[in-house]
Structure 1
């Protein structure tokens, strides 16, 4: 496990940030059915080196050769819903949210995941999917009870309020962005791959952190044993220590798209459980 330079803490406010809630998720990716039930500083470098991440993907309402049950006559059309989310998960998404980033792992122990951003217009229940992106999560997969150093990404529904990075914010970035030279990933990843550039762009996942602060902020409301520093960040071609990593162009697209006025959240966890 890589160890990295201690970052400078960012300015913090008093509002405590927590997961929206535990959940159960069934995600459709292409024609494959990925499912996971309800239920953790974890980036790959900086202070204590770990990252948390979610899982995702979306596709048609089919599962291989198995037909998907039709909705009851009085139910909302399937096309209006985010495919694969159970009613329990949907209830955890705030009513004001109009952007949902779904991160779905291949299974509970895999570090491979897929990500899709769903959006809806104001006063509409019709969720529209974006493209499917490949991603990496923690080396040992997922957990509903994340702890520092377990090499698993925390499952849950979390708000997305803050971003930053070693590089300047891409033009059009909407989330508050801390351009800071302390976003440096030193050493090597879990599989020995170089971490250079991993923190060029990051988006904080509000797991065990205080919202409306820099991703570098070290406050851990639930205690350091529960980990923290779980981010979306630039992929380094290997598993993370808890975060979710995506290609640089995807991170730039997310920074330009995620809008605090639309109250974005991430729904993350493994499929097939």
Structure 2
């Protein structure tokens, strides 16, 4: 099968080079060496997420046409979300990937995919997940090893393996290869078999490997949903491989999916 990288206008060789500069996903222990940890200082300035700002998170999603809410109080029925978080969810969103961290400094979380129907927000299964080593932040700075809190559109996907049947644009190629070990000595190989780009500090409608950082290099980027490697990440959210396949097959751009992510206390504000 030919790589679908061409759908994004990025040659496969360029994608391979770009992934060597991405550092938002995966992780390395204090003594570990990974595809992320071996990069130059200049490349590391792109590492991790930046502050989760509503204007960046949802402006693009709000601009897309979508059906009017069948229940104006629908978003309030998503459990655990307070008014500040609810205000960031675009009115057009009909799928929400809710990532709830155990606490502000924890690297473990849970993921539930909700779909809005005539009956309201209906949950799917609950999946265990990992987030960044040091937990969560409203104002990430490069190298702090925390995941961004906020609401982000999900528009693009990809991976080392072939498209499992997603409706999202999918970029398959060797650029998603990763090796080395994580923070707890776990192998990172296969972590990018499947990924969904989280639209923090990136250009929607491009490959997850796209290098564009609208907020600047110091605000990081390369924040993905990807395959869990059994330990904390540098900024991404990771779930089991079978769950990533299910997520990819379920997400539908016509339903304007978003991820709502953060520790429980922050999301409740």
Work out whether 1:241 is the aligned partner of 2:234.
yes
CA RMSD of aligned residues (A): 2.5
In 1, the alpha carbon distance for the partners of 2:262 and 2:237 equals 11
Work out which of the residue numbers 98, 104, 121 in structure 2 matches 1:127. Answer: 121
User: Does the aligned pair in 2 maintain the 1:230–1:242 contact within 8 Å?
Assistant: yes
Work out which of the residue numbers 194, 198, 203 in structure 2 matches 1:210. Answer: 203
Task: From the superposition, tell whether residues 188 and 77 of structure 1 become closer, same or farther in structure 2 (CA, over 3 Å).
Answer: closer
What's the offset of the Cα at 1:7? 3.4
Q: Per the alignment, in what secondary structure is the counterpart of residue 249 of structure 1?
A: helix
Q: Per the alignment, in what secondary structure is the counterpart of residue 116 of structure 1?
A: strand
Say which structure is richer in strand.
1
Work out whether 1:85 is the aligned partner of 2:81.
yes
Alignment of 1:166-177 (within 5 A): 166-170=160-164, 172-177=165-170
Give the structure-1-normalised TM-score: 0.73
In 2, the alpha carbon distance for the partners of 1:214 and 1:118 equals 25
Say which structure is richer in helix.
2
In 2, the alpha carbon distance for the partners of 1:51 and 1:241 equals 6
Task: From the superposition, tell whether residues 237 and 52 of structure 1 become closer, same or farther in structure 2 (CA, over 3 Å).
Answer: farther
Counterpart of 1:183 in structure 2 is 176
Q: Per the alignment, in what secondary structure is the counterpart of residue 174 of structure 2?
A: coil
Counterpart of 1:59 in structure 2 is none
Work out which of the residue numbers 103, 110, 129 in structure 1 matches 2:99. Answer: 103
In 1, the alpha carbon distance for the partners of 2:152 and 2:251 equals 14
Counterpart of 2:149 in structure 1 is 155
Detail structure 1 runs of 4+ shifted over 6 Å in the superposition: none
Task: From the superposition, tell whether residues 131 and 50 of structure 1 become closer, same or farther in structure 2 (CA, over 3 Å).
Answer: farther
Work out whether 1:42 is the aligned partner of 2:36.
no
Counterpart of 2:112 in structure 1 is 116
User: Does the aligned pair in 2 maintain the 1:50–1:243 contact within 8 Å?
Assistant: no
What's the offset of the Cα at 1:81? 1.1
Task: From the superposition, tell whether residues 77 and 268 of structure 1 become closer, same or farther in structure 2 (CA, over 3 Å).
Answer: closer
1:222-249 deviation per Cα after TM superposition (whole angstroms, max 9, x unaligned): 1111110000000000000000010000
Q: Per the alignment, in what secondary structure is the counterpart of residue 100 of structure 2?
A: strand
Counterpart of 2:6 in structure 1 is none
Work out which of the residue numbers 186, 192, 199 in structure 1 matches 2:192. Answer: 199
Counterpart of 1:33 in structure 2 is none
**Structure 1: unaligned runs, 5 residues or longer:** 1-5, 11-40, 54-74
